[in-house]
Copies of this chain bind each other. A is one copy, B any other.
Amino acid sequence: MPILELSPGDQTVTVSGDTPLLDVYAALPAGLYPPFPPVELPGGVGGLVSRGGFGQNFFFAAEILGLTFISPSGRRIVAGGRTVKNVQGYDLTRPFVGSFGALGTAETVTLRLRPGLSMRHVASPGTLETLPGAARFVWQDGPSIHQMHFGPAREVDRALSGVFGGTEVTGSVDLRHFFPEGVGVGTGGHLRDLRMNRLGQSWINGGEVPPVPALFARLAANL
């Protein structure tokens, strides 16, 4: 039972780390969105959190309200919560998000849900080299270029306002075939993320992860 607790009133959902991303979509009432687009990726929600998100145009870590994870030494660590009620911090949620496994593996994740997010996905003939566009995600699949943007409706409209022609793709997409050996960060990948473009990087097949800063290696060794 991967959906552990759904609270539409509080706009939160708690899921097990191995929950597929599209299972989260399937469990939500209409009009309430998780902090990722309807795309399936390897590793489910836990993998997504470990990689610092995918396809969002907001501060992803702030949408992760809490999680439990198993540390490198095997401890179960409870980080964060679902309410504004705690004064005291000591919350390891944010260091964990985007830690690419260095701090351990997510066991359960509590996501903030938002109303009224929007997604646009257009496929058109072409290659990555000829692409204009301000869409957050672009990828090549055979002879087609896919452009996808997810977020507040106005921002989505703006990001894809220069796209004419092509086919509007509705519904969810499974991108796992790009990543048979897992999702990593590197150069020359099929899937470009505007966040990484300035570094010449993209999401690539394989487990290549960014280097761990010394401070966090010390932290990980003490968890």
Contact = CB atoms under 8 A, between A and B. Distances in A.
Nearest to A198: B85
Contacts of A213: 90
Oligomer: number of copies: 2
B77 A59 contact: no
B215 A85 contact: no
Contacts of A93: 94
B77 A94 contact: no
A222 B218 CA distance: 7
Given A52-B86, A84-B56, A195-B86, A95 B95 contact: yes
- Most B CB contacts (10 A, CB to CB) among A91, A196, A223 go to A91
Interface of A: 51-53, 56-62, 65, 77, 80, 83-100, 102, 185, 193, 195-196, 198, 210, 212-213, 215-216, 218-219, 222-223
